[in-house]
Amino acid sequence: MGEVSTIGLDLAKTVLQAHGADASGGVVFRKKLRRDALLAFFAGQPKCLVAMEACASAHYWAREIAALGHETKLIAPAYVKPFVKRQKNDMADAEAICEAAQRPTMRFVTPKSAQAQGAAVVFRTRDLLVRQRTQLINALRGHLMEFGFIVRQGAGHVGKLIDLVADPASDLPHEARPVLAVIADSLQAIQAKIAVLDREIAARAKADPLARRLMTIPGVGPVVATAMVALAPDASTFRRGRDFAAWLGLTPRQHSSGGKERLGRTTKMGERSLRRLLILGASSAAKTASREGSRASPWLIGMLARKPRMLVTVALANKMARIVWALMAHGGTYRAPAAAV
């Protein structure tokens, strides 16, 4: 039995499982650790590679263990799963993490700093509030529909829903009006909170030089630009813009075999918040380009004339992702391609 060179750590809330292996892959130890004893255990270990799945609290533990002198690496759970032997349990998971970390072609997730994680909180919170707002809008619209009041879908028509509830002359039953008022008040409160977060995001976009450069790309506004700065890995992680777009899940899923290429829907891998924001930005840009007299790129106008709108939107989001990577990796601002003579 040699000296431990790699430790696979299966994370949990209270009891964590460690699997130590030497340079040849032989088992050195298997050990259960309570949360409050974890750092003391690693402080007594020789300097080695500590691998974990990139899940909740993984970035925190990566920072704490790295401060003790160890090398820490995070692995996407999907890349660990093939190394699990038969039954799934904490011991098997820790061993699988250890084996995956020793593969020379394994891809790792870059650990985030506390500041980077803190910058992402505003987007997580905004997403949560937007989902809650959608639920309240749907509930209010559905209840009003039961009494014959029809209002178009979309956040832009929320005011009509609230006005119907507040209007004493509206033909709403007395039993339903106070209950619907609760929903309307909650909706207005959430809208106010979303507005506060939007102002915070706009201020961050204005103060960050990289975000200001990204906003020169058509379809990229303050929310998309600051989300890219906060959530996207360093541009050096990817060799080219195509790899960045593939990480975002904006490329087709392959089902190729026997030399025949079969491409399906988008893979939807990577950071889903960034992918959704890029698609929303691309949708806005495509909508603007479809108007008569638009100065959009000839490529986009031609695609809209030949292909379905949603297909063009995803293709444009893919293109925007590659442009974002180019600006993040090489600097500069977006320059529209020159029109063909």
Q: How many domains does one find in the chain?
A: 3
Cα 324 from Cα 331, distance rounded (Å) = 10
Residue 43 pLDDT class (50, 70, 90 cuts):
very high
The per-residue pLDDT for 256 is: 83
Parallel, antiparallel or unpaired: strands 71-75 and 252-254: unpaired
pLDDT band at 302 (very low <50, low <70, confident <90, very high): confident
Q: Predicted confidence band at 293 (pLDDT cuts at 50, 70, 90)?
A: low
CA 61 to the chain's CA centroid? 21
Q: Are 166 and 187 part of one and the same domain?
A: yes
Give the model's confidence band at 1: pLDDT under 50 very low, under 70 low, under 90 confident, else very high. low
Residues 190 and 223 placed together within one structural domain of the fold:
no
- For 95-149, what is each residue's pLDDT tens digit? 999 999 999 999 999 899 999 899 899 999 999 999 999 999 999 999 999 988 8
Say which CATH number the domain at 48 has.
3.30.420.140
| Residue 69 structural domain | 6-101
Helix 309-330 to helix 272-289 angle, to the nearest 10 degrees? 120
CA distance 139 to 137: 5
Asked if residue 169 and residue 134 are part of one domain, the reply reads: yes
Query: Can you give the pLDDT at residue 168?
Result: 87
Q: Are residues 19 and 51 in the same domain?
A: yes
Single residue among 153, 174, 207 that ends a domain in this structure: 207
Residue 44 banded pLDDT, cuts 50, 70, 90: very high
SS3 of 165, please?
A: helix
Query: CA geometry: angle at 36 spanning 31 and 38, to 5°?
Result: 40
Question: Does residue 154 lie in a domain region?
Answer: yes
Mean pLDDT computed over every residue of the chain: 90
Q: Does 203 share its domain with 216?
A: no
- Of 101, 125, 156, the residue that ends a domain is 101
Handedness of CA 19, 20, 22, 27 (dihedral sign): negative
Q: Determine the Cα–Cα distance for residues 120 and 182; give it in Å rounded to an integer.
A: 31
The reported pTM is: 0.82
CA 213 to chain centre: 21
Which of 207, 232, 247 is the C-terminal boundary of a domain? 207
pLDDT at res. 97: 96
